[in-house]
Amino acid sequence: MIRTLGLAFTLAAALPAAAHDLRVFASVTGDTVTVESKFSTGRIPNAGEVRVLDASDTLVMTLPLGEDGVTTFALPDGAADGGLMIEVDVSEGHSDYWLLTPDDIAHGQGTN
């Protein structure tokens, strides 16, 4: 009985965290990168920060997350050579990332 209650409590405590996973998606269209963020429930984050890092793990820029969970920016010079890592942290304490590979960028620019 105690094991069952302990397992039920553990599962119940884990469910809220799993229900609020942040999802990040980034894509390239021409020379513009679009970053979209939302929780697994479909809810849009209230506020947050988008960090863009190059292939050397160097911070290229930091941008605010848009009120609609979307942020756009111009493709940085040299990004097509090594790709980008897009990290998103939101005010609710969740974070996630998306990798844009050189192939992703080439495809989005229509050069692939």
Q: Please report, in tens digits, the pLDDT of each residue of the chain (112 residues total).
A: 444 434 444 444 444 444 469 999 999 999 999 999 999 999 999 889 999 999 999 999 999 999 899 999 999 999 999 999 999 999 778 999 999 999 999 999 888 6
CA distances from 75 to 7, 11, 47, 52 (A): 48, 42, 23, 10
Fold designation for 21-109: Immunoglobulin-like (2.60.40)
User: What is the reported pTM?
Assistant: 0.79
Contacts of 31 (CB under 8 A, 6+ apart): 74, 75, 109
